Amino acid sequence: MPDDEDGVTFPAAIRIGANDTLKIIASANGFLNAWFDFNADGDWADAGEQVLVDVPLIPGVNNVLFSIPANAQKDTTYCRFRFATYGGLSYTGLALNGEVEDYRIEILDSVPEDLSVDGVTIISGQSKCYNATDSIIVAQNTPVVINNGGDATFIAGIVVLFKPGFQAYSGSTVDAHITTTGNYCTGLPPSILVNPIYSDEIDHEPETFTQGDQKFSIYPNPSTGRLTIDFMKDKQSALIHVMNLQGTRLNTLHIQDQPKAEIDISNLSPGIYLVMIQTNDAVITRKVIKY
């Protein structure tokens, strides 16, 4: 019989602790239930393994959020989806109508959002890989040394920043990757191989962001601490907060009828910070790197 398990499309990688979106194709109005064997013990009976409970679907494509718990097992396992015009279905038992589909999936290690790599020495014969969905800062606080014969790979979704404390000796191998496919240390390659980014070689070309009708840019990013926010219009009023990654406010600036705003975080320690911009039209938060 041909394989008819085609109603669910998965993300490129299923990772422990991640929140992801499934694309579900339904032929009629109904309800979806789903189970993942997170501990790979051969059943869907354990607590937390039902990830979707009576989620309503409409005909066509439905985007459904689901979560992979932090205690999931890194393994190849199975999941089951049951769709019917009524809810309350279990992973077993008869249904008056609907469809059931099973999939074999691989659950991969979790990947942090941001990562600082400090105090590492890789000796001859050692190979290490570091990854983050957004940014990696190497040797931010203490030196990172790659000795002759050592191998280090750094993979991020946005930026890999090497600070002056990074040292790679002759005969070592260092790769920095910016992934466009969600493949990190588990699943190399494919990704795009790029040259390492050093703090004195950063491209300061502004990047434009859009939310609703609001366009703006923050530059330079990364920076030494002096940032410009360009609202890309004649005048704008806004409340600007600088926060750490835990959400603690470190600085606040209020501007009135200005096309641009200047903020100074040079007094803060090197690292990753959040800039929240509140206007009458939008609330926008972006990450900035201070080196």
Tell me the three state secondary structure of residue 173.
Answer: strand
User: 226 Cβ partners below 8 Å, 6+ apart?
Assistant: 262, 263, 264, 265, 266
- Average pLDDT of span 15-30: 88
* DSSP state letter for 245: T
Residue type, 9: T
Pull the structure tokens for residue 234. 């004649």
Q: Cα(first)–Cα(last) distance of the chain, in Å?
A: 59
> What's residue 204's pLDDT?
46
pLDDT in tens, 193-245: 334 444 444 444 566 766 666 778 888 888 888 889 888 777 888 889 998 87
83, HSE (Cβ side, Cα atoms, 13 Å): 18
- Average pLDDT of span 32-50: 94
- Average pLDDT of span 109-127: 88
Q: Say whether pLDDT at 140 is over 80.
A: yes
> What's residue 113's pLDDT?
83
Sign of CA dihedral 51, 55, 59, 64: negative
User: Which neighbouring-strand residues pair with 138?
Assistant: 117, 162
- Average pLDDT of span 1-26: 76
> What's residue 245's pLDDT?
78
Helices (H), the chain: none
Residue type, 110: S
Percent of the chain scoring above 90 in pLDDT: 30
- Tell me the pLDDT of the chain averaged across its residues: 83
pLDDT band for position 180 (50/70/90)? confident
- Average pLDDT of span 113-140: 89
Total residue length of the chain:
291
139 by Cβ neighbours in 10 Å (0-12 / 13-18 / 19+) ranks as buried
> What's residue 29's pLDDT?
95
> What's residue 4's pLDDT?
54
- pTM comes to 0.51
> What's residue 193's pLDDT?
37
pLDDT in tens, 90-109: 999 888 888 999 999 988 88
> What's residue 187's pLDDT?
53
Pull the structure tokens for residue 81. 């989806």
Percent of the chain scoring above 70 in pLDDT: 88
Q: Say whether pLDDT at 144 is over 80.
A: yes
Q: Say whether pLDDT at 189 is over 60.
A: no
User: 3 Cβ partners below 8 Å, 6+ apart?
Assistant: none
Domains of the chain: 8-108 (2.60.40.2950), 114-201 (no CATH), 207-290 (2.60.40.3080)
φ, ψ of residue 236 in degrees (nearest 5): -155, 145
- Average pLDDT of span 5-17: 80
pLDDT in tens, 240-264: 999 887 778 888 889 888 888 898 9
CA dihedral defined by 9, 15, 21, 26, rounded to 10 degrees?
Answer: 30
Q: Say whether pLDDT at 32 is over 60.
A: yes
